[in-house]
A and B are shown apart, each in its own frame.
Chain A
Amino acid sequence: MAQVAEQTKKSPMGGIGKRIAYYPGCSLEGAARAYDVSTRIVARDLGLELDYLEDYNCCGAMETKNVSFWGTVLLNARNMSLAKRQGHNAIVAPCNGCSFSLQRAEYFLNTDKSVYNRINELLKEGGVDPLDEVPTTYHLLEWFYHEAGPEEVKKRTKKPLRGLKVANYYGCLYTRPHFYARTYSHTATEEEEQARPHRRETADDDEHPYYMNALLEAAGATNVEYEPMHTQCCGGPHSLSDEQVSEKFVMMLLQTAKRNGADVIATECPLCHASLEMYRHRLMMKGVPDVDVPAVYFTQLLGIAFGHSANDVKLKDNLSDPIPVLKRLGLI
């Protein structure tokens, strides 16, 4: 596997801003509360500030875009407008679905003048300020990496995650497609790179993302080999509507993690996380072997490393129950 060599890894470069508009998304205020709570704890410990986006609406995830193009761009433009109202030009989203939706809208608004004009008209009609400028959306991981970074994580770590073997699961949309996620490729030639006019300096490597690996490693965990499953799909928007395919995809994800020796799978998206937990349970009921690796949000792991308790990071919320394995390793 062509993992990113140490020398090609980026060092934290800042520039995003320590204070940022926080778009949690619907699931972080419901079933994925643990991700929200632990995100806030970790951000505070790292000296970063989340400014909650008041009165936001759902981004529509990957579902609504399949039914209505204009409706979905409009939903996201409304959230962008709210961010501007709160004085921000940068938004952070902890969910792959949300960051994808916002970045997708960003792409169409920035590249297609007719979309931009029409959406602004519609925003006005809906009683929301039009966008004079389109704000940029970052995934939480990107923000943590560049505004704090591994060194900072190391400094804050009071209880290193010693002995914990982690499979880092990034899911699809954190790095893809480069049009929206604006990722770069460390293996690309100069020419290929130029073919990505929208790439963002702070974005992760496209096929070999490493920000989560780096942060968890700094907190004392050991990363197991997880390529190419690290960015393989879990079934995503079809996790409820196409159960057969989703079940097979999640089985591959879990078995690879298990067989590569992982104690837990670290996640950075509430949708990936929910899908993993739901199908893990169903696969276990069917007696499928090697699928019992629990899923934990990377922020929960960082929270524990920073000295917070299992209850602080809401470990009990995880339906896949990572508590026994973390106890066995003496981490909680």
Chain B
Amino acid sequence: MAIHERSLVEPERVLRKERLVIDGVDVSGDWNLVILPRVIEDYDLDFLDEVLKQPEGKTILQCYQCSYCTASCPVHNYWDERYNPRHFIYLARLGLIDELQKRADVIWRCVSCHKCTHRCPKGVLVEETLKAILKVMSKKGLIEEYPSKKFDTFFLEAVFEHGRIEDGELLFGWIEKQGYQVFKDPILKKPIPFLGGTPEWLKQLAVKPIKSMNIDFLILNAKHMLFHPKTKNWNKFKQVLRKVFDEEGVSLAH
């Protein structure tokens, strides 16, 4: 018997016999596979309510579990079958937090491509709902800081600080956060990409504009590094943003 969505069943629970004889009848062809049942007692009934409270999670109840989203999802199809948007919605609705937690290593891997949202026949904002589920998981301490959250927060900090982001700062700041030793000039403390312990690919990529003598591009980037692009009259707006973040429980480094 074929198991659909095989990835949903833990290997330990699948019993498969090469040859199975019951009451003298050989049933190996069809019935040689058994999935052991399990009992789940812990439901977190509050989980769904929390998701529904998020502005992004309001459409979760419209889902009728058709799996169109999963069938469309590139992370499911090309990366890991255990990443399964339909299943996450199912678990969240029942409040099966243990099961959600077992997938903490993949659940953050959504690349926000919105194939799921686009194709859902029931009008669920699937990608948004999944992010709402993630947020609630974080809130309830069911998932540790995951890489994309670290990056997203880092990005948000940059926007918050200046109103604008600067590619170089973002890239090297992130590389540094990953534990690489980024070389900085001693006076201005700005990163020098092709020195120090930055990854080899980045060094090579960073010298390309120099090799091709793309002078005006180099000047532009140097200028941005020295004078960070900024939005004017940002301070007052920043206060409002700060207030909103506090309400949402977003904590920034600054």
Contacts and interface: CB of A to CB of B under 8 A. Distances in A.
A249 B74 contact: yes
Interface stretch (B28-36, B60-68, B229-237): B229-237
B112 A29 contact: no
A282 B204 CA distance: 10
A34 B214 CA distance: 12
A319 B208 CA distance: 7
Contact of B74 (A58, A74, A75, A232): A232
A38 to B, nearest CB: 14
- Interface size range of chain A in the complex: 35 or more
B245 interface: yes
A281 B201 contact: yes
A233 B111 contact: yes
B250 A29 contact: no
A115 B55 contact: yes
A179 B126 CA distance: 11
A241 B150 CA distance: 8
A67 interface: yes
Interface in A180-215: 195, 206
A278 B214 contact: no
B221 A285 contact: no
B75 to A, nearest CB: 7
Contacts of A56: 231
A224 to B, nearest CB: 21
B229 A238 contact: no
Interface string A269-292: 000001000100110010000000
Nearest to A55: B232
Interface in B75-131: 75, 78-79, 109, 111-115, 117-118, 123, 125, 127, 131
A242 interface: yes
B118 A178 contact: yes
Interface stretch (B9-17, B42-50, B151-159, B185-193): B151-159
Given A57-B159, A71-B250, 18 more contacts: A33-B217, A55-B232, A62-B112, A64-B159, A74-B244, A122-B240, A125-B240, A126-B236, A126-B237, A172-B114, A173-B114, A233-B74, A233-B115, A242-B109, A242-B148, A248-B79, A249-B78, A249-B111
